[in-house]
């Protein structure tokens, strides 16, 4: 997983997975991506950065189940108006199921708030309070995390929760291979 360099093969696979062939008309464009990054004092990880700049900024076809949310937006059921602080590092290094935590940390509620609002952009939802986050700052930069009302866990084989590759491209490939209408699945 390379968060700093876009790979042409990964970008082609992403384009195919989302069925985007509009010549970049649905993309955000580099000027808007750079403005977003400057506003939030971050650099988006690749290949997501090039994906939203050149391929498409959001998709109703997913992943996740209810579609990929455009870069500067939030799923309607999660947008509580709180200011997200993308430049502050995402606080977790390993899965944390706070609902089952018999000995929660002293800063438990504040830490949960940081999981939702620090160092990640929300890619979308699978419904029922389950959201997919792309980590944009901190040691988990470039990884995808599943964040729900009960806890958070990283996506990808290195974390033992799936056999899929980590990162945005691995997450999309996993979804594309498992679409019910995909003959290759």
Give 98-144 pLDDT, tens digit per residue: 888 776 667 678 888 999 999 999 999 998 889 999 999 999 999 99
Between the ranges 32-36, 83-87, 163-167, where is the mean pLDDT highest? 32-36
**13 within a domain of the structure (yes/no):** yes
**3 within a domain of the structure (yes/no):** no
**46 within a domain of the structure (yes/no):** yes
Query: Can you tell me which residue has the tokens 């939203």?
Result: 52
pTM over 0.85: yes
**182 within a domain of the structure (yes/no):** no
CATH number of the domain that residue 156 is part of = 3.40.1580
What is residue 181's predicted lDDT score, i.e. its pLDDT? 45
Count how many domains the chain has. Answer: 1
């Amino acid at each position: 997983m390379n968060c700093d360099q876009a790979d042409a093969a990964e970008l082609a696979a992403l384009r195919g997975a989302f069925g985007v062939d509009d010549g970049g008309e649905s993309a955000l464009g580099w000027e808007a991506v750079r403005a977003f990054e400057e506003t939030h004092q971050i650099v988006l990880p690749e290949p997501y950065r090039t994906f939203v700049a050149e391929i498409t900024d959001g998709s109703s076809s997913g992943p996740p189940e209810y579609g990929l949310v455009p870069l500067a937006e939030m799923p309607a059921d999660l947008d509580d108006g709180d200011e997200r602080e993308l430049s502050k590092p995402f606080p977790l290094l390993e899965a944390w199921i706070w609902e089952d935590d018999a000995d929660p940390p002293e800063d438990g509620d504040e830490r949960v708030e940081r999981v939702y609002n620090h160092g990640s952009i929300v890619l979308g939802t699978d419904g029922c309070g389950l959201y997919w986050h792309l980590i944009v700052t901190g040691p988990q930069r470039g990884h995808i995390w599943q964040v729900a009302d009960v806890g958070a866990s990283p996506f990808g084989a290195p974390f033992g929760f799936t056999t899929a590759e980590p990162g945005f491209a691995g997450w999309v490939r996993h979804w594309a291979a498992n679409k019910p209408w995909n003959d290759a699945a």
